[in-house]
Amino acid sequence: MTATAAPQVLMPGAYPEWDMAPMQAQYTLHRLWEAPDRQAFIAEHAPGIRAVATRGELGASGELIAALPNLELVACYGVGTDGIDLAACRARGIRVTNTPDVLNGDVADLAVGLTLALQRRIPASDAFVRSGAWAQGPMALATRVFGQRVGIAGFGRIGSTIARRLSGFDMELAYFSRTPKADSPLRHFASLPAMADWCDVLIVILPGGEATRGIVDAEVLTALGPRGWLVNVSRGTTVDEGALLQALEGRRIAGAALDVFLNEPRIDPRFAALDNVVLHPHHGSGTEETRRAMGALVRRNLEAHFAGRPLVTPVP
């Protein structure tokens, strides 16, 4: 009897060690991030590769998918699949999985935390105390959070979790989505500029991708206005970054708290020069608890696929 060879899995980037160890025990892993010549590495291993285990920000491009003739599954560590060429997968019957739900609470917590940090100027206050400036006089006043109007752009699993969190803050809440949610009592806006005009704080948690590219544009920022605040925990692509930088520099919006940017991790240096921003390194799901749950879900999907069982969290 011959032993069945372990399925071959290509990894564009590493997972935490607590995932790498069990994956290594089950699969033959091809570590693309360690390859000095990526093209040559892919060409060498392509015929045997049956799955790609990627991360949200690394995705799987059409070019990569085309180079893997026997690919069956793309498993994503992350809920957003905007980095994966889904059309190319669909065209070849390649299945895709992601890690929904397990990160809702963390991303929602961060949206709330960034809102508080921005308006109450928590990072600036920390710097103020550390620098000794406090001894020279009191900190400048901040902005009251409770009682404000918050517009949540995107009302899926995470957006509705943000609303639940904020319902404890005595705030007036509304959301923007293509279609109103029958099960939500909150005010619905079908127009993003209209909601930006209505709200004090605009929290963006729309999926990335072509449909939402630059949706927070100059018109939305103008509607938000000089007393309006932007919090983005979605994707850098949802915001017209040039328009945002101009609005922040010209004080045409009050400020922004951003977990996501274009060109991460080498973001536009103009952000670092601003005093009306709170900057965060794309870490909405970045707690050990949630990352463990995400890794476990990726592994369960891989196992299900290779055992011929239904996928746990397939992307439709």
**183-202 mask for ligand 8YV (x: CB under 6 A)?**
--------------------
Rounded to an integer, what distance in angstroms lies between the CA atom of residue 20 and that of residue 77? 13
Task: Report how far apart, in Å, the C-alpha atoms of 117 and of each of 113, 122, 128, 280 are.
Answer: 6, 5, 14, 11
DSSP string, 159-194: HHHHHHHHGGGT-EEEEE-SS--TT--SEEES-HHH
Binding status of residue 282 toward ligand 8YV by CB under 6 A: yes
Q: Does 285 bind ligand 8YV (CB under 6 A)?
A: yes
Cβ closest to ligand 8YV, residue 80 vs residue 113: 80
Nearest residue (CB) to ligand 8YV, 77 versus 155: 77
Cα(271)–Cα(274) distance, integer angstroms? 6
Sign of the alpha-carbon dihedral angle for 119, 120, 126, 128:
positive
**Cβ closer to ligand 8YV: 115 or 313?**
313
For ligand 8YV, the binding residue among 27, 77, 198, 261 (CB under 6 A) is: 77
> What are φ and ψ of residue 75, in 5° steps?
-105, 125
Write the interaction track for ligand 8YV spanning residues 54-73; mark x where CB under 6 A is met and - where it is not: -xxx----------------
Nearer to ligand 8YV, 83 or 255 (CB): 83
Q: Is 45 an annotated catalytic residue?
A: no
For residue 103, state whether it binds ligand 8YV (rule: CB under 6 A): yes
Binding test (CB under 6 A) with ligand 8YV, winner from 49, 60, 75, 80: 80
Q: Is 238 in the site for ligand 8YV (CB under 6 A)?
A: no
Any catalytic annotation for residue 282?
Answer: yes
The region of 31-39, 50-58, 175-183, 212-220 touching ligand 8YV under the rule CB under 6 A is 50-58
| Whether the Cβ atoms of residue 83 and residue 134 lie closer than 8 Å to each other | no
For the sheet with 49-55, list strands across it.
Answer: 28-31, 8-11, 49-55, 73-77, 95-97
What separation in angstroms does the CA of 293 have from each of 105, 286, 287, 298? Answer: 12, 11, 10, 9
Question: Which region among 20-28, 108-116, 190-198, 280-288 touches ligand 8YV (by CB under 6 A)?
Answer: 280-288
CA-based torsion, 211, 162, 260, 150: positive or negative: positive
Selected from 12, 68, 74, 78, the binder of ligand 8YV by CB under 6 A is: 78
Catalytic annotation on 178?
no
Whether the CB-CB separation of 300 and 97 falls below 8 Å is answered with no
Pick the piece of the chain touching ligand 8YV (CB under 6 A) from 27-35, 76-84, 191-199, 295-303. Answer: 76-84
For residues 125 and 122, what is the distance between their CA atoms, to the nearest angstrom?
5
CB of 286: closest distance to ligand 8YV in angstroms? 7
Of the candidates 280, 282, 291, 299, the residue annotated as catalytic is 282
Q: Are 60 and 85 in contact (CB under 8 A)?
A: yes
- Tell me whether residue 77 or residue 175 sits nearer to ligand 8YV (CB atom): 77
The rounded distance, in Å, linking the Cα atoms of 251 and 256 is 11
| Catalytic residue selected from 227, 264, 283, 289 | 264
Question: Given the rule CB under 6 A, which residues bind ligand 8YV?
Answer: 55-57, 77-80, 103, 282, 284-285
Positions marked catalytic: 235, 264, 282
